[in-house]
Chains A and B, each alone.
Chain A
Amino acid sequence: MRHILSVLIENEAGALSRVTGLFSARGYNIDSLTVQTTEDTTMSRMTIVTHGSEDVIEQITKQLNKLVEVVKVIDLNEADHIERELMLIKVRATGKERDEMKRMADIFRGRIIDVTEKAYTVELTGTGEKLDAFIKALDPAVILETVRTGASGIGRGERILKV
């Protein structure tokens, strides 16, 4: 099953490679990984999307907790949570394609953030599925380039991950 783990980790050199090294050394999968410092700049927060059986996820969580820099780990799947991913997608936009593209971006609540004679770059946020749906809705021939961040996740309501 797909799991989304939130990890608070000391903002130290090498901490990120310890996490990724742990996944590769133990044969776990990382589907996506996002990381940035938090409001407390001595700490970073990672969102790791992974998949595996309950046993595997339990081991991953325990092994993450074992890393000296890891302050806290929670599995966002255990309760309601929100996920967002950011995509920048560059599409061909000439002639009547330009209107069509604009409409599509609006429907998906995307924003066109760069315009040239031949191309638009659209910024889109949402769940991974929504971004996938956007790509599917386009003619593959018009897609010039895409870049996605992977998911960031946060618990709903009162559920807070903090030290």
Chain B
Amino acid sequence: MEISGAEIITRCLQEEGVEFIFGYPGGAVLSIYDAIFKQDYFKHVLVRHEQAAVHAADAYSRSSKKVGVALVTSGPGATNAITGIATAYMDSIPMVVFSGQVATDAIGLDAFQEVDMVGCSRPIVKHNFLVKDIRELAPTIKKAFHLATTGRPGPVVIDVPKDIAAQTSQFIYPASVSIRSYTPPTKGHPGQIKKAAQLLGEAKRPFIYVGGGAILSNASSEVTELVKMLNLPCTNTLMGLGALDGSDPHFLGMLGMHGTYEANMAMQYSDVIIAIGARFDDRVISSPEHFLSQAKKIVHIDIDPSSIAKRVRVDVPIVGDVKHVLIDLIGILKETGIKPQAEALADWWQQIEEWRKPQSLWYEPSDLVIKPQFVVQKLWEVTGGEAIITSDVGQHQMFAAQYYPFKRPRQWINSGGLGTMGFGLPAAMGAQLANPDAIVACITGEGSIQMNIQELSTCKQYHIPTKIINLNNRYLGMVRQWQHFFYGNRYSESYMDALPDFVKLAEAYGHVGMKIETPADVEPALREAFSDKLKDRLVFMDFITDREVNVFPMVQNGKGLSQMDLPPHMRDMQLTPFENNRDYGNLC
């Protein structure tokens, strides 16, 4: 029996076990929408802007290990999806995006709502396809899911011309895919893994540096085992938060531009770094020169060879799936009993504890004005540290990363690579749909939330009971912070004028709104929002916060990790520099 291209698409999604797709209709995809109407295998979520469809699919994937799927129409629908696709690409999220295209005979004629989606998306996808033959449709979809999920994951776009969706063909879904030119590695090279073990054995100041790759490869338990087995200090990047429990004593906090003092110092002064699914991003090591000025050996484990040795020289590159490599590494360490040098490691820990003492994440409490950090801390208390947190981009994102110690992987959903404002709310929708019983909260700012605020309507339609924590400082706070540090307090266009009444706005969309203006009201308000009474409601909490709080510590661009701007309480403190107490060589 022959079925239409549109039906082939829905059948393929069924074969792939898809349960949700996020999308927005239009002329070029109407046959696909018709096929969706006729099936009841998966649910379609109608968003209010295509960017949100892609973010929702993205967060659905991040929070569930499944593939995110989005569907948009040709032309403006496709271009609206671009920011979402780029966001997923930068964070290596497995995703398949279907875009409609004008009919094959109209392609290239500047037809109504035509845009070259394959061309537009090329730099921001793992791969993309234009389907020009109905017989290729099912095999292409099979390939797309395979490419999106294997190797270094990423978004794959399938552009489907309108006539292809309407034509009919036999439905044959291939059982497997083989692409001669695509053979992603899994296992790491055994010789290299042995070298890594030996380096750990010689290490005096070992340090584990974990990135988002560890979460994508579901290697959290291996990371935890390695760290505990050898008693190693460990940091997670912004994307790696949750890979090691944030309350584990081995965890030194996040590192990098807004990392803790102890994590940045340890990263700078360690002698052996094991980088696990992390890529020495510029927001992490700031300047490679300063970073490498300290003699250190680097082991770099990553599925993507092009991530290795891109910014820093690496002594032991290991290409492979992080989970497999760690299993092998742990195996060798157990077999051989290799351990870092005990005495040196004890000294190293002592030094780290010194760095920890001043508590670089401390902030000045207040009874008068709400500190954004305080809200995040209270949120952590009220939710028992269990919530799935999505965030937007800005100061609030950094406060969320710093003050909500994530317990487990996939609990922290944020746009790390692209830094996309407008991500938070649609991401919360995707995460909530993937985890209907979980508490999901979106930590945002008044600038970011307004970039996709129309999704409050989607939340209403699908009864998505997310809690929105708006840290409202009436500034594009992160921009203001940079203007403070680098532009002589000239706050050019970082002030948010004419803000809406967020309570009324939430109510207008049919949700619950709350405005919280004093520190004493923070906890009661949160308790109410997370109470059983409001369990099934979206609550928009507008916290009127201190206007000019800065995020500390802060490593300015081009500086070394040990040259942080520290919070006020640490500025005049006699900080013990890292001293040569044994045979370490003078490192300071």
Distance in Å: Cβ of B22 to nearest Cβ of chain A = 25
Residues 23-76 of A contacting B (Cβ, < 8 Å): 25, 55, 58-59, 62-63, 65-66, 68-71
Interface size class of B (residues with CB under 8 A): 10 to 19
Given contacts A14-B118, A21-B122, A21-B123, contact A71 B180 (CB under 8 A): yes
- A-chain residues with CB within 8 Å of residue B127 when the two chains form the complex: 68
Q: A14 contacts B309, CB within 8 Å?
A: no
Decide if B130 is an interface residue (CB 8 Å cutoff).
yes
CB–CB B180/A17 < 8 A: no
Q: Given the complex of chains A and B, what is the CA–CA distance between A9 and B182 in angstroms?
A: 11
- Is the beta-carbon distance between B309 and A58 smaller than 8 angstroms? yes
Considering the chains assembled together, what is the distance between the CA atoms of A9 and B127 in angstroms? Answer: 14
Given known A-B contacts A25-B123, A68-B147, A62 and B305 have beta carbons under 8 A apart: yes
- A68's partner among B118, B182, B305 (CB-CB below 8 A) is B182
- The residues of B that contact A62 with a CB separation of less than 8 Å are 305-306
Return B244 CB to nearest CB of chain A, in Å: 29
Known interface pairs A17-B119, A17-B122, A68-B126; A59-B181 also in contact (CB < 8 Å): no
Number of A-B contacts (CB under 8 A): 36
In this complex, the member of A18, A58, A62 whose beta carbon has the largest number of chain B beta carbons within 10 angstroms is A62
- A25 CA to B124 CA in the complex, in Å? 10
Answer yes or no: B328 CB below 8 A from chain A CBs: no
**0/1 interface trace, chain B 285-324, chain A, CB 8 Å (1 if under):** 0000000000000000000111001100000000000000
Nearest to A70 among chain B residues (CB) is: B181
Complex contacts, A14 vs chain B, CB 8 Å: 118, 122, 130
- Taken together as a complex, chains A and B put the C-alpha atoms of A62 and B306 apart, in Å, by 5
- Contacts A68-B182, A71-B180 given: A18-B309 contact, CB under 8 Å? no
- Rounded to whole angstroms, the CA-CA distance of A61 and B182 in the bound complex is 15
The answer to whether residues A66 and B306 also contact, given A10-B181, A14-B130, A71-B180 and a CB cut-off of 8 A, is yes
Indicate whether B368 reaches chain A with its CB closer than 8 angstroms: no
Q: Are A69 and B181 in contact (CB under 8 A)?
A: yes
A59 and B126 CA atoms in complex are apart in Å by: 17
A105 to chain B: closest CB distance in Å?
42
B residues near A71, Cβ cutoff 8 Å: 180-181
* With known contacts A17-B122, A21-B122, A21-B123, A68–B181 Cβ distance under 8 A: yes
Q: What is the distance, in angstroms, from A133's C-beta to the closest C-beta of chain B?
A: 38
A94-107 Cβ-contact flags toward B at 8 Å (1 or 0)? 00000000000000
Contact with A along B538-565 (1 / 0, CB 8 A): 0000000000000000000000000000
Say if the beta carbon of B179 comes within 8 Å of chain A.
Answer: yes
Given contacts A13-B130, A68-B181, contact A59 B119 (CB under 8 A): no
**B310 A59 Cβ-Cβ under 8 A:** yes
Q: Which residues of A contact B119 (CB under 8 A)?
A: 17
A71 → chain B, closest Cβ, in Å?
A: 4
Expressed in whole angstroms, the Cα–Cα distance for A68 and B304 within the complex equals 13
Q: Mark A150-163, 1 if CB is under 8 A from B, else 0.
A: 00000000000001
Q: A17-B122, A163-B180 are in contact. List 17 more A-B contacts (CB 8 A).
A: A9-B181, A10-B180, A13-B130, A14-B122, A14-B130, A18-B122, A21-B122, A21-B123, A25-B123, A62-B305, A65-B305, A68-B126, A68-B127, A68-B181, A68-B182, A70-B181, A71-B180
Q: Could you show 25 A-B contacts with beta carbons less than 8 Å apart? A: A9-B181, A10-B180, A10-B181, A13-B130, A14-B122, A14-B130, A17-B122, A21-B122, A55-B309, A59-B306, A62-B305, A62-B306, A65-B306, A66-B304, A66-B305, A68-B126, A68-B127, A68-B147, A68-B179, A68-B182, A69-B181, A70-B181, A71-B180, A71-B181, A163-B180
Residues of B with Cβ closer than 8 Å to A? 118-119, 122-123, 126-127, 130, 147, 179-182, 304-306, 309-310
